[in-house]
Amino acid sequence: MAKNQSSLSAGIVAAIRKRRPTVVSREAAVSRGDIVIASYNIHKCVGTDGRFDPGRTAQVIGELGADIVALQEADQRFGERAGLLDLEHLRREAHLVSVPISGFSTKGHGWHGNVLLLREGAVSDVQQLKLPGVEPRGALVVDLDLKMGPLRVIAAHLGLLRHSRAQQAEAIIEAASDAGGRPTLLIGDLNEWRMGKRSSLSFLSPVFDPSHATVASFPSRFPLLPLDRVLGNPHSLVTSVAVHDSPLARVASDHLPVKASIDLKVGKREGHNNQRIEVSRAGSA
């Protein structure tokens, strides 16, 4: 127990030292030709005040102004696993459309609670990855064709147990290995605050660099732990990372959203010629 407490304390100290992240402005990123990515564990739309409020959650998503948003805990965990957000409202107000999936729940939005929202682009392939471990967990592996070039996004929510996270990290590396030269992002709540060899995320190396641009996102009222990550392959794909720390975000979930800017020019490759699902100008009627 003492050893675990020491590890936790070291992780908290490291997180505090990193609480001054590079700020991401969508306007500045767009002017450079970059793409703004965000990850948000919405805690089933239950805020730190104990109130279930999907509208408030949608407001925070709108605040992000991101081109691609990965959500975690967007469905009920048990029973019908029904989706908790109004996706039509998000399309209309935030100009974001959910990447279509199939076969998990007729009423759910995502895959094990994972949802990927896209402002504009084409989806050429979607894989619904079942992750190993004690708890039922999953990841979405989505190949996108964007104006700036091709991109693979792995949107994941890893488990609470270190051994499970290590297995899940290895499964994600395997999913990243067949990207066909596409720059690849791993984004989501990875549930790990430790750094170095004791971190379960060390199994992501060298494909992803778990030490890159860590920012404290949990708990939302006083963020200390870097549970939410945006990692790139190549490592230079991610140019800046920051938490979205607004008054509304501090109460809407127990996690703060994480935003990142990516530069696809550093990893442009030839894309696949698979059948594409078009998602363009999500905000239009």
Q: Which run of H or E residues covers position 184?
A: strand 184-189
Max mean pLDDT range (12-16, 35-39, 191-195, 266-270) = 35-39
Summarised one tens digit per residue, pLDDT across range 19-40 is 444 455 555 554 455 899 999 9
Region 117-137 average pLDDT: 94
pTM, to two decimals: 0.84
With beta carbons less than 8 A apart as the criterion, state whether 279 and 123 touch.
yes
Query: Percent of the chain scored above 90 by pLDDT?
Result: 65
Domain boundaries, given as residue ranges, for the chain: 2-279
pLDDT bucket at 140, cuts 50 / 70 / 90? very high
Protein fold of 2-279: Deoxyribonuclease I; Chain A (3.60.10)
pLDDT-wise least confident of 9-13, 148-152, 164-168, 220-224 = 9-13
**Is pLDDT larger for residue 212 or for residue 61?**
61
**Is pLDDT larger for residue 81 or for residue 111?**
111
- With helix as H, strand as E and coil as C, how does 188-248 read? EECCCCCCHHHCHHHHHCCCCCCCCCCCCCECCCCCCECCEEEEEECHHHEEEEEECCCHH
* 25: CB partners within 8 A, 6+ apart: none
Region 121-141 average pLDDT: 93
